[in-house]
Amino acid sequence: MTARIGATVIALATFFVDTFTTTEVAIAVMYGAVVLLAVDFATWQRVLLVGIACIVATLGSFLATHGLDTSGGELARCIVSLSAIGVTTLLAVRMKATMLTLHEQAQLLDLTHDTVFVRDAADHITFWNRGAEVLYGWPREAALGQDTHKLLQTEFPAPLPSIMAELRRTGRWEGELMHRRRDGSQVIVASRWSLQERGSSFAVLETNTDITAHRHAESQTRQAQASLAHVSRVATMGELTASIAHEVNQPLAAIVAHGEAALRWLNRPVPELEEVRLGLERIIGDGRRAADVIQRLRALARKDEPQRVPLDLREVIRGILPLVQPEIRHHRVALRLELPELPAVIGDKVQLQQVIINLVMNGIQAMALVADKPRALTIEVHEEAGEHPGERIVIEVSDTGPGIAADKLDQLFEAFYSTKPDGMGIGLSICRSIIAAHGGRIWASAREGGGASFHIALPVAGSGA
């Protein structure tokens, strides 16, 4: 508005002075200011019209004061003024067209559903698109000038100084952020930052995609998988119950027997204290054995969130032995262990034990069908470079059962594939999802000399895989 009034006043004043006074100055160049002010409020076509009007006014004033007299300095002054107005008009029209293009390009950013905003070196917002208004609920006027991280209460996946250091070094950063909307609700975004150097300072262009629904769906799938894994674990424990009950019963019976013997030694006219001590030590040993089995069973039955901790696979495998050994003895299977010391893997102990118990039970059940061959089950771990980066440790469980037809090797891992009359067919599919969640791979192969082998390749701790 002020530009419009200013332009009108200057135009009238210039016209008045130019027409009714006899100044020696090329006063008409002041029309240039009128054209420049018009850029502020007029379209480029109108800026052009203003320029033409100024030229006409200049010519009109000249004709009114000097007629057709082309002698003297007046004509030169008039020509200078006309050139100045002409050049200014051309530049102004070009400037207006460029501004229009820039404005249209900025409006394009409003079409995207992603949020796009720019913040300066002090984290103050200088641009805020329509997507950002919709996602965060802050209108542009309220967001501009605000501190981004305060406004959105950003939670970072790493300390901000280290993120900024990476941004300054590489010019880019990508990661997941937690933001808060204006109404206080949380939103998870996949965020991409690009650095724009501005002399000694810089600006950051931040583009965010809302992945809240995606993350929730993932977490629900994870929970469903965890519940299924739990159900399958409990089902396996059901299969093991009879032999485990026997395993616990046996030390309990031994405790009673040792207790009775110790009492007899005590009741002698001269108590045999050394024998009593031995008896008590045996009682403690047997009690620990029973408690150990129960504790492992309980760990397996618990429904905890999966953990990610460094694990020694020898310990993981030895931990399942009290649970599967009764079954192994019952089916007269020879168990061979090859457990050299290897680097740690990162994972969840109970889940990995569940996988190995599944493979061991499958092996025992497969060999139950074989009567004419020795039943041997081998669990071994070794280190080898896998197909994928980071895969280094391989656990192998092999048996001397009937083996697996080559065309079924992959099918086994599909859910509900079972050849057993009472099989659920989910054991191996759960093993596969557990191992995939550990960043590893599980596959089956034919064992040399007959039987089946199951292999689990896992990344070692610290390999970044």
Regarding 239 and contact with ligand ADP (CB under 6 A), the answer is no
Among 247, 345, 399, 432, binds ligand ADP (CB under 6 A): 399
x/- site string to ligand ADP, residues 354 to 383, per CB under 6 A? Answer: ----x---xx--x-----------------
Among 21, 246, 420, 450, binds ligand ADP (CB under 6 A): 420
- Name the pairing type of β-strands 391-399 and 376-383: antiparallel
Please, which residue, 15 or 454, has the CB nearer to ligand ADP? 454
Phi, psi for residue 390 in degrees, rounded to 5:
90, -25
Regarding 452 and contact with ligand ADP (CB under 6 A), the answer is yes
Give the torsion sign (CA, 88, 90, 94, 99). positive
Among 156, 265, 417, 443, binds ligand ADP (CB under 6 A): 417
Instruction: Concatenate the DSSP letters of all residues of 153-208 into one string.
Output: T-B-SS-HHHHHHHHHHHSEEEEEEEEE-TTS-EEEEEEEEEEEEETTEEEEEEEE
- What residues contact residue 462 under an 8 Å CB cut-off, 6+ apart? none
Among 35, 290, 316, 428, binds ligand ADP (CB under 6 A): 428
What CA–CA distance (Å, rounded) separates 434 from 388?
17
Q: Which tokens sit at 371?
A: 């009567």
Q: What's the CA angle centered on 172, arms 166 and 178, to 5 degrees?
A: 85
Regarding 220 and contact with ligand ADP (CB under 6 A), the answer is no
Q: Which tokens sit at 178?
A: 């937690």
SS (H, E, C) 15-42: HHHHHHCCCCCCHHHHHHHHHHHHHHHC
Please, which residue, 129 or 236, has the CB nearer to ligand ADP? 236
Q: How far is the CB of 390 from ligand ADP (least distance, A)?
A: 26
Regarding 443 and contact with ligand ADP (CB under 6 A), the answer is no
Please, which residue, 37 or 428, has the CB nearer to ligand ADP? 428
In contact, 155 and 147? CB cutoff 8 Å: no
Among 243, 250, 325, 418, binds ligand ADP (CB under 6 A): 418
Give the torsion sign (CA, 419, 423, 427, 430). positive
Regarding 137 and contact with ligand ADP (CB under 6 A), the answer is no
Residue with tokens 């980066």: 389
Regarding 186 and contact with ligand ADP (CB under 6 A), the answer is no
Regarding 424 and contact with ligand ADP (CB under 6 A), the answer is yes
Regarding 133 and contact with ligand ADP (CB under 6 A), the answer is no
Among 419, 436, 450, 462, binds ligand ADP (CB under 6 A): 419
Regarding 82 and contact with ligand ADP (CB under 6 A), the answer is no
What CA–CA distance (Å, rounded) separates 133 from 148?
13
Regarding 322 and contact with ligand ADP (CB under 6 A), the answer is no
Q: Where does this chain bind ligand ADP (CB under 6 A)? A: 358, 362-363, 366, 399, 401, 404, 412, 417-420, 423-428, 452
